[in-house]
């Protein structure tokens, strides 16, 4: 089956810093999503991005489908950005294959 790999596994930032999270996938996918899981467990959908670039406030994402990777950019990080960031490949109609996640801690 398809493999989804994320890097780095852990990241500690000082508030205000910028960061880039990477997601590689082993095969063609129907689509790709980025999620943020807050410390209380809720998964929030950040981007649905099969290709190209999208921006939402301080966050932006780029997917290069032909090269099988996606990047999530966080600018001017805030403590509320802490949590786990997952990318997930969509295969078939309903299946979502999650990567292992990047654990982000933003220090005040």
Partner 1 sequence: DTEVTQTPKHLVMGMTNKKSLKCEQHMGHRAMYWYKQKAKKPPELMFVYSYEKLSINESVPSRFSPECPNSSLLNLHLHALQPEDSALYLCASSQGFLRVGNTIYFGEGSWLTVV
For partner 1, the closer of residues 77 and 91 by Cβ is 91
d(CA 62, CA 13): 21
d(CA 69, CA 86): 13
**Among 7, 18, 26, 30, interactor with partner 1 by CB under 8 A:** 30
Q: Are strands 102-107 and 59-64 parallel, antiparallel or unpaired?
A: unpaired
Stretch that binds partner 1, among 11-19, 20-28, 68-76, 88-96 (CB under 8 A): 88-96
For partner 1, the closer of residues 8 and 16 by Cβ is 8
Of the candidates 69, 67, 59, 63, the residue with the CA atom closest to the CA atom of residue 4: 69
Stretch that binds partner 1, among 28-36, 55-63, 66-74, 75-83 (CB under 8 A): 28-36
**Among 20, 58, 95, 105, interactor with partner 1 by CB under 8 A:** 95
DSSP, collapsed to helix, strand or coil, labels residue 81 as helix
For partner 1, the closer of residues 64 and 100 by Cβ is 100
């Amino acid at each position: 089956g398809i493999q989804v790999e994320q890097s780095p596994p852990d990241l500690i930032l000082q508030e205000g810093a910028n960061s880039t999270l990477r997601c590689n996938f082993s095969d063609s996918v129907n689509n790709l999503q980025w999620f943020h899981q807050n410390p209380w467990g809720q998964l929030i959908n950040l981007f649905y991005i099969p290709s190209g670039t999208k921006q939402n406030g301080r966050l932006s994402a780029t997917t290069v489908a032909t090269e099988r990777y996606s990047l999530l950019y966080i600018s001017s990080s805030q403590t509320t950005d802490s949590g786990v960031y997952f990318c997930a490949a969509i295969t078939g109609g309903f299946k979502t294959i999650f990567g292992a996640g990047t654990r982000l801690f933003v220090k005040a």
